[in-house]
A = this chain, B = another copy of it.
């Protein structure tokens, strides 16, 4: 099984799928191709939350603002899973989660020269003007197709427990790390930030859900809001704080958009404090 994640929209992911299916008959499952463009942190958050629900798989991830530069192409083996993508940190939060407590991350850098050329079915000179089209292999702008997709197929066919079929330049290292920021907890007070806003407008913070334990209300950036176990704990259109499916505090509106109601977007600071009325 190979999962695919990118910020490509369409139809670029289809080219990656074609390249993979030239090489393997693995099941393909899309995670998302509408991650915010070139936003490594948001993709890293979602991958950390979603990939652990999959059975052992190879996860192809291409959110790659540095395509064509000398950033490396990375393979990470984490538990029974493997991740393939640019060495810009996007793979690491998910990889640490998949490796589990104390689990080791094995890494390999992909030698792009050894991936082998990714050619379309037909010679470039089959259309009138194509003899003058430039033919760089790999291209400088679409490593998803020309480097990462064939690498993912190779990693998949090695059945994850061997990265030997790749030409590895180096092992056990990476150039760019990424850790999602953790909230600071001081007694009953939590100082965190917005990690992402989901499609419903739910504001997902990095404050652990346990911060809401035993509270009926909480001050969120100075505004008193009820704490609810479900969206429906408050009437439609009203604000609440709840614990999302990822275990973090969310600032939401029942059947509405929390981001609009709270005026918050990714990266914004969030301070959660006890209210006077129920915290004594």
Binding site for B on A (CB under 8 A): 1, 3, 5, 8-12, 14-15, 17-19, 21-22, 27-34, 37-38, 46, 48-55, 65-69, 79-81, 93, 96-101, 103, 118, 120-130, 132-136, 139-142, 145-146, 182-183, 185, 198-200, 206, 208-213, 229-232, 242-248, 250, 255
CB distance from A240 to the nearest CB of B (A): 11
Question: Is A140 a contact partner of B255 (Cβ separation < 8 A)?
Answer: no
Copies in the complex: 3
Question: Is B31 a contact partner of A14 (Cβ separation < 8 A)?
Answer: yes
A67-B230, A129-B206 are known contacts. Are A135 and B247 too (CB-CB below 8 A)?
Answer: yes
Question: Is A245 a contact partner of B210 (Cβ separation < 8 A)?
Answer: no
Q: 5 shortest A-B CB distances, which residue pairs? A: A68-B230, A133-B247, A134-B209, A52-B120, A142-B245
CB distance from A98 to the nearest CB of B (A): 6
Among candidates B93, B103, B141, B247, residue contacting A245 with C-beta atoms closer than 8 Å: B141
Among candidates B22, B200, B247, residue contacting A37 with C-beta atoms closer than 8 Å: B200
User: Can you offer 21 A-B residue contacts whose CB atoms are under 8 A?
Assistant: A8-B199, A10-B34, A11-B31, A11-B32, A14-B32, A15-B53, A18-B50, A21-B55, A67-B230, A69-B232, A99-B126, A129-B183, A129-B206, A130-B208, A130-B247, A133-B248, A136-B243, A139-B243, A140-B229, A141-B243, A145-B245
| Centre residue among A9, A53, A136, A213 by max chain B CB count within 10 A | A53
Chain B residue at smallest Cβ distance from A247? B133
Question: Is B146 a contact partner of A245 (Cβ separation < 8 A)?
Answer: yes
Question: Is A15 a contact partner of B50 (Cβ separation < 8 A)?
Answer: yes
Give the chain B neighbours of A126 by CB distance below 8 A.
96-97, 99-101, 103
CB distance from A49 to the nearest CB of B (A): 8
A132-B210, A140-B229 are known contacts. Are A122 and B52 too (CB-CB below 8 A)?
Answer: yes
Question: Is B133 a contact partner of A53 (Cβ separation < 8 A)?
Answer: no
A122-B79, A126-B99, A132-B185 are known contacts. Are A141 and B230 too (CB-CB below 8 A)?
Answer: yes
Could you tell me the distance between the alpha carbons of A18 and B54 in the complex, rounded to whole angstroms? 4
Chain B residue at smallest Cβ distance from A81? B121
Given A18-B55, A69-B230, A98-B122, 14 extra CB contacts under 8 A: A9-B34, A11-B46, A18-B50, A21-B27, A22-B55, A66-B232, A100-B121, A101-B125, A129-B182, A129-B208, A133-B208, A141-B242, A142-B244, A145-B245
